[in-house]
Amino acid sequence: MTDGKALVKTLDFQLNIQSNNESLLYDACLESRSVYNETIRLAKLGMDWDAIPDHVADDADLVKNTTQRVVDKALGAMKNYYEYEDFGQPSHTKDGVYPLRSNYEEGYNLSLTDDGDVAFRISAKPYKHVKGVLKGEDAHIGILKTAIEGDEWKIGTAEALFHDGTPELHVNVTNTKRTVRDKQDSRTAIGVDVNEDNVALAALSEDGVEDTLVIDFPEIKFERHRYFTIRKRVQNVGKSSTHDTLKGREERFVRDRLHKVSRHIVVWTQQFEKPCIVFEDLKEMRDSIDYGTRMNRRLHHLPFRTLQYYTSYKASFEGIPTSWINPEYTSQRCPMCGYTERANRNKKRFKCRSCSHQDHADRGASVNIAVKGIEKHQNWNVPALNSLPIVRKVRRQASGAVDAPTVTHDTVRGYQTDGAAGVPD
């Protein structure tokens, strides 16, 4: 058995910068890119890696601590190339701005203000600082305040960067009292298939499929489309302030629903022996989407990664590890016979053209995800799948009746179910 790992979280904040110093931070991020690229260049030329930090620091217009952290990250990319050979060439050089990475109380500082805000000071350049207050989710602000006061959480490195033109600070914190079990020590793989209007779950152990569940949340898709239509009308009459207000309401609505769904996933997961939650790695998905203007707008705004993130950090608080697998063929592969064919799937209906197995398409995908999770991380074999449980679905009351014929729906603490246990909001 392996020991648990310390619980580490990355907290994301927007920077509300004082005195119009955003340009100073931007210039520093450009200098960080130069440091990164110069490190890669010297490593390719064969310079001793131990000599690179001092050599680069002589010419860098950055605080020495920040320069060291950026160099370390570049050399880490080079090490991954030589160890795994998974890049086209020894680490790509960077374009545009690159994050400033620094240690707490060396390259950046945090403090609490009299107004209850979290103030920051980032050493962007030698003797030149960027100051202001952090803005972010209440949960993240709360954790950071606890860490500043020295209770339970410990503050580590942070990265100042620009995301879609907005300055942000990503702070790593470590919980000194909680641990996350090593994924290699898991006995149940929980496959999670996130879709536009639902999330499908499958629990797979050495004994086979323990249970499955499909959680419907069509209200997110509906509300996003409704707010989009309203904002278009508001834009046409030139009311920009109303447009921003509507966008804020939409974001709060979606965030609230995703928190509730992610909490449901974690509670359901906890019933199984030593679970590990398995996600599809969808970070490259948006780059490959091109189905026309209307469909692209819908798919590019789907909260796939957000739901995965919410679920992952809630699971980590319960000591449950998460892992990520390649999503290739998870929706097209038959979980019973392994036959892979795009024509197997038609919307929510799956019928294998080889063995004639029929299933809820998303539930079948979640089983395939769990199988891949076992193959990637576990030292036990994937069991033979001779049968699957009856598909169980759960949906929030506000979204209407469950799409399942001849089933009596019981109201269970805010949910309508057909045999599934309800989870409180």
- Domain shared by 121 and 153, yes or no: yes
Instruction: Please indicate, yes or no, whether residues 277 and 408 belong to a single structural domain of this protein.
Output: yes
Residue 219 lies in a domain: yes
Tell which of 178, 199, 230 closes a domain.
Answer: 178
Q: Are residues 349 and 240 in the same domain?
A: yes
Predicted local distance difference test score (pLDDT) of residue 240: 58
Whether 170 and 216 map to the same domain: the answer is no
What is the model's pLDDT at position 239? Answer: 61
Pair (231, 168) in one structural domain: no
Residue 373 resides in a domain: yes
- Let me know whether 17 and 142 are in one domain: yes
Q: What is the pLDDT of residue 196?
A: 82
The total domain count for the chain is 2
- In 3D, which of 75, 82, 65, 85 has the Cα closest to residue 37? 75
Identify whether residues 225 and 359 lie together within a single domain. yes
Answer whether 406's CB lies under 8 Å from 396's CB: no
Predicted local distance difference test score (pLDDT) of residue 34: 95
Does residue 22 form part of some domain? yes
- In this structure, the answer to whether residues 363 and 268 fall within a common structural domain is yes
Specify if 424 maps to a domain: no
**Are the beta carbons of 121 and 129 closer than 8 angstroms?**
yes
Q: Which domain holds residue 32?
A: 5-178
H, E, C per residue of the chain:
CCCCEEEEEEEEEEEEECCCCHHHHHHHHHHHHHHHHHHHHHHHCCCCCCCHHHHHHCCCCCCHHHHHHHHHHHHHHHHHHHHHCCCCCCCCCCCCCCCEEECECCCEEEEECCCCCEEEEEEEECCEEEEEEEECCHHHHHHHHHHHCCCCEEEEEEEEEEECCEEEEEEEEEEEEEEECCHHHCCEEEEEEECCCEEEEEEEECCEEEEEEEEECHHHHHHHHHHHHHHHHHHHCCCHHHHHHHHHHHHHHHHHHHHHHHHHHHHHHCCCCCEEEEEECCCCCHHHCCCCHHHHHHHHCCCHHHHHHHHHHHHHHCCCCEEEECCCCCCCECCCCCCECHHHEECCEEECCCCCCEEEHHHHHHHHHHHHHHHHHCCCCCCCCCCCCCCCEEEEHHHCCCCCCCCCCEEECCEEECCCCCCCC
Last residue of a domain, one of 117, 148, 178: 178
Check whether residue 241 and residue 213 sit in a common domain: yes
Does some domain include residue 36?
Answer: yes
Q: Model's pTM, two decimal places? A: 0.62
Supply the pLDDT for residue 410: 31
- Same domain? For 326 and 358 the reply is yes
* Residue 327: inside a domain: yes
Answer yes or no: do 189 and 170 share one domain. no
For residue 39, what pLDDT is reported?
A: 93
Asked if 26 and 120 sit in the same domain, the reply is yes
Would you write out the chain's pLDDT as a tens digit for each of its 425 residues? 345 677 888 899 999 998 778 899 999 999 999 999 999 989 888 899 999 999 999 889 999 999 999 999 999 888 776 655 554 554 567 888 999 999 999 999 999 999 889 999 999 999 999 999 999 887 788 889 989 987 778 999 999 999 888 999 999 999 877 788 888 889 999 999 998 889 999 999 999 999 999 998 888 777 776 766 776 777 666 665 555 566 667 777 888 888 889 999 999 999 999 999 999 987 655 555 555 555 454 554 566 778 888 898 789 888 899 999 988 889 889 999 888 887 778 888 999 989 999 999 999 999 999 999 999 888 788 888 877 888 888 875 443 333 333 232 332 333 334 444 344 34
At 390, which CATH number? 3.30.420
pLDDT given at position 255 = 80
Confidence (pLDDT) at 238? 65
Which domain-ending residue is among 178, 198, 220?
178
| Residue 425 placed within a domain | no
Residue 84 inside a domain? The answer is yes
